Structure 1
Amino acid sequence: MTASPLLTAILPLALGIIMLGLGLSLTLADFARVVKYPKPVVVGLACQILLLPLVCFLIANGFGLESALAVGLMLLAASPGGTTANLFSHLAHGDVALNITLTAVNSLIAILTMPLLVNLSLAWFMASDQAIPLQFAKVMQVFAIVLLPVALGMLIRHWAAGFAARMEKPMKLVAALFLAFTIVLALAKDWQTVVEYAPIVGGAALLFNLLSLGVGYWLPRLLRIPKRQAIAIGMEIGIHNGTLAIALALSPSLLNNATMAVPAAIYSLIMFFTAAGFGWWVSRGQRAAEVVAPLPPAP
C-alpha cells in the first residue's frame, strides 16, 4: 500500500487549522496547571512508553502474526500520539492542554525510543540486522503541526478574547467535518487493503486499540486522576501517529517494507470509529463529573 497523496498533502494543513481552533480555547493557565500537577503527565508517558509496547508485543505473539506484520504493529506502538488525539480529546471534553503536553514530550522522547524499539522488534521477529536511524526531522513535524498553530490560537485569544470565544463553536464544527472527510477518504482509498488484510491483522489491531484506550483511561482513573485528564490520556494512548509509522515502513532508506505499513493503515482506520465511540461514552455527564472531581485550580 502507499500513502494517499491527498491525505499527505491536505491532512497536515487541515490538522494545523484544527489545532489553531484548539488554541483559541486555551490559556497559559492550562499549561501552568499541568506543570504544577505533573502526575497525569508522568502516568500518560509511562503508559505510552512502557505499557503499550509490552501489550503490543503480547498481542503480536498471541495472534501469531507473520514477522513483517508483527514488526509493523510494534512500529505503531512505538509511534507517539497523533495530532488527531488532541482533536478527539477536544470533542470529548478532555484536557487538551495535557494532550498537547504529552504529544510534545513523547514526540521528543520518540527520537530515541522509536529506533530502539523497532530495532529490537526487527531482531526478535525477523532476526534482522536492519536498523533505522533517528528520525529527528519527521518527529519535529509533530511540533510544527501541533505547537505552532496552538500558540497562534492562544495569542489570538490573549489579544482578542471576544473573537476567540465566538469562533470556538464554529471551529468545533469544522473539526468534526474534517474528521468525517478523513474517514470517508481513508475508507474509499484503502477499502481493498482493509478487505485483504483485515482477517489477518484486523483483530490484533482492534484489540491493541481497545486495550490502549482502556489502559489510557482506566489506569489514570484508578490512580485518582480527574476525568478530563483521564480522557486526554486515553485519547493520547489510543490514537497513534499512523502517518509517521507508515512513512517509516515505506521509506526506501529505512524499513522499505510495504507489509510493515499495513498494521498502521488498518489501525488508523479502526481508531477513528473506536475513538469516536470512546469519546461519546466517556463524555456523557461530563459536567456533572467535573463538579464531583474538579481539576486543581490554576496557580
Structure 2
Amino acid sequence: MDLLISVGLPLSLAIIMLSLGIGLELADFRRVLTRGYPFAIGALCQVVLLPVAAFATVALFALPPEIAVGFMILSFCPGGVTSNILSKLAKGDVALSVSLTAVISLLSMLTVPFLAAWSINYFMGDNAPEVSITGLAIAMFLITTLPVAIGVSIRHFAIEFANRIEPGLSKLATTLFVLVVLAALAGNWQLFVDNLGIMGAGLITLNLGLLLIGLGLARVANLSWNEAKTVSIETGIQNSTLGITLAALITGTESGFSPLALPSAVYGITMYAVALPFILWFRRR
C-alpha cells in the first residue's frame, strides 16, 4: 500500500496532468490576454469563491476536523481534464475552459501549499501534522506544473506525435483516476461508511452550490450563455485526483491512504451525478 501511495499515486497524477498538457497549445495561454474579462470571472470563482463556499459548507454540516480539511483541500484544486470534457459536452466555450484549466493548474503550485497548510492548522489544531510549504510546492511543481509544461512542449514541437498519443493517454488517465478513487475509498472504508451520510450530503450541497454560483455570477457579469456555462462547470468541477494526492503528501504513507483524501475520493463519484442534470440542461439551451 505504501508503494502505491508514495510512487503510484504521484505518478498517476503526473500522467493525468501530462494528458492535460498534451491537449493544450500556447494559444490557450495567450487567449487569457485577449479574453481577459471572462477569464477573470472564472478565475475569481475558482480561486476565491470556491474555498469560501467550501468553508461555509464545512461549518454548516459541522464536519469532523479531518473531513473538513479534506473538503478544503478539494476546494483548492483546479479543474482538470474532466471540466474540459464536460464543457464540450455542455456545448460551452471550450477555449475558455481550457484556458482556465491551464492557467489555474499552473498557479496552483503557488496557491495550494499555503492554503492547505492554513486549513490543516485551523481545523486540526494541536493534532495537525507538520506541513512543509516548500516541500508541497516542489511536489506540486513535479506532479502538476512540470507534466503540463512537458505536454504543451510536445504538442508545440511535435504536433503529429502529440495527436497520435493523446487518445491513448486520455484513456490511461481515466483508468488511473478510477483506480486512485477506488484505492482511497478502500483504504478508509470504515471512515467512509461512518461518515457517508453527512459527507455525501455536504459534497452534493457544495457541488450543486458551486455550479449555481458560477452560473449566477457569470450571468450577473453579463457573459455570453456559452461562457456562463463554462464558468459554471469550471467552478463546480475540481481535480479530485490532485486532492487525494495532496492528502497523501501531507500525511505521509505510514498508515495508508489519509482520511484527508476521503472527501476527494467520494467527490470523484458524486460530481458526475450532480453535474449530469446541468450538462443535459446546458445542451438543450
Alpha-carbon offset, residue 129 of structure 1: 11
State how far apart, in whole Å, the 2-side matches of 1:195 and 1:208 are: 20
Contact 1:23 1:151 in 2 (8 A): yes
Alpha-carbon distance change, 30 to 114 in structure 1, aligned in 2, over 3 angstroms: same
**1:83-131 C-alpha deviation (Å, 9 max, x unpaired):** 7x31212332352332121122244134444444554556xxx6x6979
Structure 1 residues not aligned, in runs of 5+:
253-257, 290-299
* Alignment counterpart, residue 98 of structure 1, candidates 63, 77, 100: 100
Please list, as runs of the form range in 1=range in 2, the aligned pairs for 1:133-144 lying within 5 A after superposition: 135-144=133-142
Greater share of helix residues, 1 or 2?
A: 2
State how far apart, in whole Å, the 2-side matches of 1:183 and 1:129 are: 26
Contact 2:214 2:232 in 1 (8 A): yes
**1:47-97 C-alpha deviation (Å, 9 max, x unpaired):** 3444334433433333334xxx247515642566447x3121233235233
State how far apart, in whole Å, the 2-side matches of 1:283 and 1:240 are: 23
Aligned to 2:58: 60
State how far apart, in whole Å, the 1-side matches of 2:200 and 2:215 are: 23
- Identical pairs, percent: 27
**1:137-163 C-alpha deviation (Å, 9 max, x unpaired):** 213322222222222222222222222
Contact 1:115 1:133 in 2 (8 A): yes
Query: Once structures 1 and 2 are overlaid, which stretch shifts more, 18-27 or 225-234?
Result: 225-234
Say whether residues 1:234 and 2:236 are aligned partners. yes
User: Could you tell me which amino acid in structure 2 is paired with residue 268 of structure 1?
Assistant: S
Contact 1:76 1:245 in 2 (8 A): no
- Structure 1 SS opposite 2:23: coil
* Alignment counterpart, residue 26 of structure 1, candidates 15, 24, 27: 24
**1:269-291 C-alpha deviation (Å, 9 max, x unpaired):** 221123334555555598897xx
**1:211-237 C-alpha deviation (Å, 9 max, x unpaired):** 334434553354316134543343248
* Alignment counterpart, residue 109 of structure 1, candidates 108, 111, 115: 111
TM-score after normalising by structure 2: 0.74
User: Could you tell me which amino acid in structure 2 is paired with residue 276 of structure 1?
Assistant: Y
Alpha-carbon offset, residue 20 of structure 1: 2.1
Alpha-carbon distance change, 118 to 212 in structure 1, aligned in 2, over 3 angstroms: farther
Say whether residues 1:275 and 2:277 are aligned partners. no
* Alignment counterpart, residue 266 of structure 1, candidates 257, 262, 265: 262
CA RMSD of aligned residues (A): 3.8
Contact 1:205 1:266 in 2 (8 A): no
Alpha-carbon distance change, 133 to 220 in structure 1, aligned in 2, over 3 angstroms: same
Contact 2:42 2:235 in 1 (8 A): yes
**1:150-183 C-alpha deviation (Å, 9 max, x unpaired):** 2222222222222222333222222222223223
User: Could you tell me which amino acid in structure 1 is paired with residue 264 of structure 2?
Assistant: S
* Alignment counterpart, residue 83 of structure 2, candidates 62, 71, 89: 89
State how far apart, in whole Å, the 1-side matches of 2:240 and 2:129 are: 26
User: Could you tell me which amino acid in structure 2 is paired with residue 235 of structure 1?
Assistant: I
Structure 2 residues not aligned, in runs of 5+:
89-93
Please list, as runs of the form range in 1=range in 2, the aligned pairs for 1:158-173 lying within 5 A after superposition: 158-173=156-171
State the aligned residue count: 271
**1:8-55 C-alpha deviation (Å, 9 max, x unpaired):** 421221222232222222111110002333334433443344433443
- Structure 2 SS opposite 1:26: coil
Say whether residues 1:73 and 2:68 are aligned partners. yes
Contact 2:21 2:149 in 1 (8 A): yes
Alpha-carbon distance change, 233 to 107 in structure 1, aligned in 2, over 3 angstroms: farther
User: Could you tell me which amino acid in structure 1 is paired with residue 83 of structure 2?
Assistant: S
* Alignment counterpart, residue 44 of structure 2, candidates 38, 43, 46: 46
Give the structure with higher Rg (CA). Answer: 1
Aligned to 1:145: 143
Query: Once structures 1 and 2 are overlaid, which stretch shifts more, 175-184 or 200-209?
Result: 200-209
TM-score after normalising by structure 1: 0.71
Contact 1:12 1:145 in 2 (8 A): yes
State how far apart, in whole Å, the 2-side matches of 1:270 and 1:35 are: 36
